[in-house]
Every structure is written in structure tokens, then in C-alpha cells.
Amino acid sequence: MNQGPILPLTSPMPNFKSVKKFASSKSAKTGKLSAKSFTSRKFASSVEALVREEKFHSAEIAPSSATSRAIMRAAEALGKSAGRELAATTTHPEIVERQILITEEGLLPPGGIPKLRWPAHLSGEALAHAAPRSLRQIRAYKNEMWRRLARQGDSKKNTGAMAQAVATQTAPDSICGVGFGVKITEGQVATTECVRVYVVRKLPKAELSRDEMIPESINGLPTDVIEMPDLVAHLLCGSSVGHINITAGTIGCLVQKEGRQFILSNNHVLADCNRGRVGDQIVQPGPVDGGIAPPIATLSDFVPLDFSGAPNIMDVAIAELAPGAAILPQIEMIGSLHPQISAPVAGLPVKKCGRTTELTGGRIEDMHADVKVTYPNGRALFSGVIAVRGSVGPFSRPGDSGSLIVTAEGNMPVALLFAGDESRGLSFGSGITGILGHFGVTHIS
């Protein structure tokens, strides 16, 4: 990474050896030092400087290095105050990854969601050179899992049918979805390839019958079970926007077609969950944030949400900008978009700016998930969407729906966020390539 420090240095650059020496001292180990003492404050300042320093950003200090271990031990010994202060300093995605090194030892980020540790051999650089599975292979693994789950459900429904839509309906109600992505063992990523099963509640094996257990592997690939009590659509260009009859969502980005410009966001943000009509008013900010007429745009087109049990691919709508509408293509706290689009890859660092949580960073954890999402007017199944886990707290909260997910470096569009499970820190989005292709538009960079 050929870049300088992201934040200005507020203290002299510390010597790594002095930090390691302090971390191994008797006072640090026993935790007798007060968090307000001169030594403690000096250490906290040193840790912050280390994280901001270019060498740290270039990942030359691995999570397993002696320096990193020393920093974490010292932060723990000092009542974890240094780690807490550091986690609160910024949510900039490129700093978030470094904050994990300070807080992963038993320390929870804001929001209380456990950290997910990524081994050095699964870094973004290593994943970029990995040979990805084909979409056909991914679907084959997922469909096989759906077929096995369907046998746990009501076998009297659609007997003999093996189509995905049928399998998802006959699977037990406790199953929220199936995906393909990383396997997590004791808070750490074990591999970037597994078949993931999302459940309402994760129970010990001792409480499950043999028929209720998730297979440990599918065609030789390991499986993982992820608890996700309820996945809901987030209803509250980084800025607040909404159909005149909803609360508020987020402007994803501006797109264009034949000289006309449109706002890109979700159906449930711009089209009121199928209730909207072409020509309806779109206000900015959204109604709950005080938005009133005249409208910033009018609804132009949307993909209807299907609540019958058939799979949805995207929750998306576009609204044409009104004459004189003052919306710039740059995204708040992110800037201009890259003209190229990035394919979703497990482990890829990403970021977004939304109406509620503003700028947050995370990594793609599932690159092809089938999940059920709860809307005000029903539950809808989505197929082939991505899942992102926030690096520090939730990646999104209600009101962030419609946010554009982009790469942490380069601002390349990846997906459009539409739902999330705040309690587990997972957010879901549909790939941007299919969305742009559906409407025949291009994003404005």
C-alpha cells in the first residue's frame, strides 16, 4: 500500500522496542497502573501513533507479531482503556482493520458485537490472488444444502420437487438462509470457503435430534452455522432520502441513462415496498428527517418484491432527479466512485456511508447467500446476495438501506445494501453489476 498516514500524527513516533519493553513490565502485567497515570497516557498515545503510522497500515506488523501481542497485552493490563479510546477515535475503514489488532483480545467494539479475527494468510492481498469458485460451483453447493434441509421440513409439500424455490419453502422455519463464504471457528476465520447455514437460534448438538443437525460437510466442503434471529429491511449518496409515504433510507449513488440522471436506492426506500407508482414524489431528506415537497426526484422504475416464496435477486429502484436538484455524484465521507466495478470476494475489505451510521467498514463474509428478509408487508426470500460483517460495531442500522457498498481502497462499487441483522453485525446487499444491467444505467464516477 503506497500511501501516507490517513490521520495527522499528534505525537512523536514511538520506538517499537520501548512499547514491547513496557508491555512486558511488571506494572503492565499486574495492571496496577491507573488509566489516568502519565505512563498509561503515554502508552495510549504510543499505541494510537503506531496504528496511524504508515508501517502499520502496510500490514508489516502482523497480528501474530511480538509487537502486536505486546500492545494487546498492555492494553488489557491497563484496564483496556487504551483499546477503548482507540476504537472510538475513528471509523475510517482503512484504520478499522488496524484497530482489530488492539481490541481483539477480549475487547468488544462499540455496540458489543464480538470481533472477527482474520489470520495473516487470509489478508486482502492474498485473497486477491486466490482462484475463485465459479458461480455454477457455488450454486451447486448451496442447492445441495437446500435439498438436505428440505428433508427436515414438511415432506408433504411439493413432494419430489428439488427446485431451489421449493426447497426453501419446505425447509424448517428455523432456517433463515444458506450461503457460501467464510467459516468461523472461535471468533476467527478458519477458511474462506464453506457452505453457510443461517438459523434463528444456534443450539448445542446435545439438544438436536439427528435429523435436525446440519451436515458437517457438503460434497467435501465444510459447513458453518450462523445465528441470525431476524433479518429486517433497513427503513429509516450517503444522505437521507425516501418515498413521500415512508420514513427514510439512503441515496446509494447517482446513475445515468441517455443523458438523464437518477437516484439509485432500494424498492422499500423509493417505491414503498411495491406500493409506490411511477411519478410518485421522492423527498430529501426522507420524511422522518423533515423532508417535504417539492420533491428532489420522482419514482421512475423498480423491481417488484416477491413475497410468494419465489427468490428475489435485488431490492432496488431508481428515481429521476427533478430539474435543478442539487445532488452531487460524490458520496459523503467517501468521495468520487471509481469507474470500474469490483466483483464480491470473501474477505474483501469494503465500506459504505449511510443515513444512520454514516461511514463504516467491514469485510465480505458471504458472497452468495440465500436469506429471508422481513418487510412491513411480508417476508421475502433473496438469492445470491452478499453478507458483510462490520469491523467495529454493526456495518449498518435501520435507515442505511440503499447505501452503496464500495471497496475500502479505490471506491469501486460492489453492492447495494438492503437489509441487516443488527444484533449479529451482518448486513446484506445485492451485486451492483446485475442492478445496473437491469435498468440499463451506469454509475456516475
Q: Cα–chain-centroid distance for residue 328? A: 25
Computed over every residue of the chain, the mean pLDDT equals 74
The pLDDT tens digits of the residues spanning 213-270 come to 888 999 889 999 988 876 666 543 789 999 999 999 999 999 999 999 999 999 999 9
Query: pLDDT grade, residue 211 (50/70/90)?
Result: confident
Q: Report the pLDDT averaged over residues 30-41.
A: 45
pLDDT, residue 172, reads: 73
Q: Tell me: pLDDT of 67 over 70.
A: no
The pLDDT tens digits of the residues spanning 68-114 come to 444 444 444 443 433 333 333 333 333 333 333 333 233 333 344 55
The pLDDT tens digits of the residues spanning 258-312 come to 999 999 999 999 999 999 999 999 999 999 888 888 999 999 999 999 999 999 9
Return the higher-pLDDT residue of 44 and 240. 240
pLDDT, residue 271, reads: 97
Return the higher-pLDDT residue of 55 and 127. 127
Q: Report the pLDDT averaged over residues 322-348.
A: 90
Residues 245, 268 contacting (CB under 8 angstroms):
no
pLDDT, residue 408, reads: 92
The pLDDT tens digits of the residues spanning 342-351 come to 999 988 999 9
DSSP result, 251-311: --EEEEETTEEEEEE-HHHHSTTTT--TT-EEESS-GGGT--SSPSEEEEEEPPP--SSSP
Return the higher-pLDDT residue of 237 and 399. 399
pTM over 0.85: no
Q: Report the pLDDT averaged over residues 360-388.
A: 92
DSSP result, 324-386: T----SSBTTTBSPPSS-----TT-EEEEEETTTEEEEEEEEEEEEEEEEEETTEEEEEEEEE
Q: Tell me: pLDDT of 382 over 70.
A: yes
